[in-house]
């Protein structure tokens, strides 16, 4: 499993000295998200518990060693789009088992975001992680014999 994408993001954050630059980088990450399919903007894909509008879609890719999940996401808020980009770098195209074992709090702590998010954004981030983990649980349950 390759974690080079998330490692690159962490390294980039560590190179930035001040939080204005880090927020700009976070917004830039959000701008790099692929276009989100308009037909996927629905109540079914909306993440509950976020102050901003957030949509998240997972696709399960069957594999002999267990299901892998790919994610796409979007938000109407620039910083939240950046958070989605970090989550996708951490979770997308990874086995469900690895998704469930990952520690997003450690990643967000390492880049310092944990201490620089408003309580509302922290709650929204937690809701997105819970949704991703629920999708991983569901993929594993469906793949079980």
Confidence check: pLDDT of 112 > 90: no
Domain residue extents for the chain: 4-143
- Of 25-29, 43-47, 104-108, the poorest mean pLDDT is in 104-108
Instruction: Catalytic residue, from 6, 9, 50, 132: name it.
Output: 50
Confidence check: pLDDT of 110 > 60: yes
pLDDT of residue 1: 40
Instruction: Give the CATH architecture of domain 4-143.
Output: Alpha-Beta Complex (3.90)
- Taking residues 116-134, report their average pLDDT: 92
Pair 9, 111: CB distance under 8 Å = yes
- Taking residues 31-39, report their average pLDDT: 95
At 54-78, the pLDDT tens digits run: 999 999 998 888 899 999 999 999 9
Annotated active-site residue 50? The verdict is yes
Can you state the angle between helices 78-91 and 19-31, rounded to 10 degrees? 70
Percentage with pLDDT > 90 across the chain: 72
At 82-100, the pLDDT tens digits run: 999 999 999 999 999 999 9
């Amino acid at each position: 499993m390759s974690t080079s994408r998330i490692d690159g993001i962490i390294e980039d954050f560590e190179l930035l000295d001040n939080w204005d630059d880090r927020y700009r980088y976070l917004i830039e990450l959000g701008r790099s998200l692929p276009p989100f399919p308009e037909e996927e903007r629905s109540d079914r894909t909306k993440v509950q518990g976020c102050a901003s509008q957030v949509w998240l879609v997972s696709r399960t890719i069957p594999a002999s060693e267990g299901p892998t999940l790919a994610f796409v996401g979007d938000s109407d808020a620039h910083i939240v789009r950046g958070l989605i980009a970090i989550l996708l770098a951490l979770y997308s195209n990874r086995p469900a088992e690895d998704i469930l074992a990952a520690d997003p709090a450690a990643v967000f702590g390492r880049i310092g975001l944990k201490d620089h998010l408003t309580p509302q954004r922290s709650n929204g981030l937690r809701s997105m992680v819970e949704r991703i983990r629920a999708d991983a649980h569901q993929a594993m349950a469906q793949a079980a014999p």
